[in-house]
Amino acid sequence: MTVLNRRDVLRVATAGCAAVACHPWLEAIADEHQQSATTPRFLLGACDWSLGKRHDPAAFSVAREIGLDGVEVSFGEPGGQHDLRDAQVLATYHQTARDTQQRIASLAMGQLNQVPYASDPRTEAWVRDAVDVMPRVGVQVCLLAFFGNGDIQGDREKQDEVIRRLKRVAPRAEQAGVVLGIESWMNADEHLRIIHSVDSPSVRVYYDVANMTERGYDVPGEIRRLGTEFICQIHMKENGNLLGRGKVDFPRVKEAIEDIGYTGWLILEGATVGGKSLVDCYRENRRFLRELLDIG
């Protein structure tokens, strides 16, 4: 059972720097990352699908209108209109992000909800593609989704196949200096079994506070148990309500996040209501999180 330590983190970070160094045209992105020491403790972003712009760089304009810091960008199967594997598409994303003063927060493979990572052979190549693209995008985290057809909760056979597949791709992710984040219905015990079995600092948990609340888990307790060793990014989400007005106990979530010393991206998802535009809903959600977390 391996716990991430300073050496593990440095190994991933060093590999990531090396990957960027291989692409001189990414110097502008590297410069942006060098400024991270002056950024706030938390950066607020939103999923491109939550902004109504899945696989579409127009999501950055919506994020700017809301007042966010960036966007979690969808990464799908090959051949789509906005396939980040294509250098021109990637250049468009970077230019649009700069033009709108936004950042690419992370990638997300929601396609795995329809085409399961645990069983469909195509998905291994897709995840490898994401690992290769991430240094070019300038992000360290890619969400791997396990819902719908891809659900593996309580299914040891499927979980074991996921472990086998992640073991095959983890060395590639380590070399690239990136992290694959599992988002699922599983509780902390199931997540940790997979993580410890894969035994790589490049495989962690992408924690969703609304999903875990819906399952009846002790969300603050799970956050503290997983800690920053195993949580790579967090969805600040609510179903059918604005943030702070639904089932999620956000004050206790805040306490847990502070207790583990988490910093970085908090990604808004869901949290809209009828009678208000998407932009108005997300402006209220943004205000709520800024007040809750004392973001100046």
The structure tokens listed for 176 are 């690239």
Contact 181, 144 (CB under 8 A): yes
pLDDT at 192: 98
Whether 125 has a pLDDT exceeding 60, the answer reads yes
Whether 2 has a pLDDT exceeding 50, the answer reads no
Whether 4 has a pLDDT exceeding 80, the answer reads no
Whether 36 has a pLDDT exceeding 80, the answer reads no
Whether 10 has a pLDDT exceeding 80, the answer reads no
| CB atoms near residue 259 (< 10 Å) | 12
pLDDT-derived band at 38 (thresholds 50, 70, 90) equals low
For residue range 178-191, list pLDDT tens digits in order.
999 999 999 999 99
pLDDT at 40: 78
pLDDT at 295: 87
Distance of CA 234 to the CA centre of its chain: 7
pLDDT-derived band at 81 (thresholds 50, 70, 90) equals confident
pLDDT at 29: 42
- The partner residues of 269 in beta bridges, in order of sequence, read 237
Phi then psi for residue 164, to 5 deg, are -60, -45
pLDDT at 296: 66
Domains of the chain plus CATH, in order, are 6-292 (3.20.20.150)
Contact 19, 135 (CB under 8 A): yes
pLDDT-derived band at 26 (thresholds 50, 70, 90) equals very low
Whether 56 has a pLDDT exceeding 70, the answer reads yes
Phi then psi for residue 32, to 5 deg, are -60, -40
Lowest mean pLDDT among 27-31, 110-114, 197-201, 275-279: 27-31
pLDDT-derived band at 269 (thresholds 50, 70, 90) equals very high
The model's pTM:
0.88
Contact 44, 69 (CB under 8 A): yes
Average pLDDT over residues 256-285: 97
- The partner residues of 231 in beta bridges, in order of sequence, read 205
Whether 21 has a pLDDT exceeding 50, the answer reads no
